[in-house]
Amino acid sequence: MSNPEKEEEIATVPETVEEESQTPPVVESTPVESEVEEKPAESVSAAGKEEVEGQEEIEVVEEKTYTIPIAKLGYTTDRGHRAPRAVRDVKKYVSRHMRSDEVSISNEINATIWARGINKPPRKIVVRAVKDKEGKVVVYPAKT
């Protein structure tokens, strides 16, 4: 008696699997088409961001290039605290020379300072400080 029941169960399971396997490809094909349609929209928004960046470049009031001697400023601290101290010193240096309280450092400068780890930041770094109309200063790597 158990054998016919098992045969019936086995017979019903493959039918449901086949039905499920046929249905999802139809469902999956629809989102793939919509994803393809969304990608051009993302590239259009990226072009809009470039225009916004172009506007930010127009707002530049002052731009200067500095060589900051991190060795003189931060190598007097303990080895385990030199990179964070170097970041603070770069902000302080640029704040003093650009006469602004609001200074932010770009990711590229931060990565340059932290490239060799917390113990050994670079001895000096060349940066480009850009001041906008609102008095905010952003520190970028120097253009070569």
CA distance 140 to 133: 17
CA distance 33 to 6: 42
Q: What is the pLDDT of residues 50-102, one digit of tens each?
A: 233 444 444 888 999 999 999 887 678 888 999 999 999 999 999 999 999 99
Q: Which two tokens stand for residue 124?
A: 């000096």
Over 70: is that where the pLDDT of 136 sits? yes
Structural fold of domain 60-141: Ribosomal Protein L31e; Chain: W; (3.10.440)
Over 60: is that where the pLDDT of 125 sits? yes
pLDDT score of 49: 33
Over 70: is that where the pLDDT of 106 sits? yes
* Entry pTM: 0.59
CA distance 53 to 62: 16
pLDDT score of 43: 35
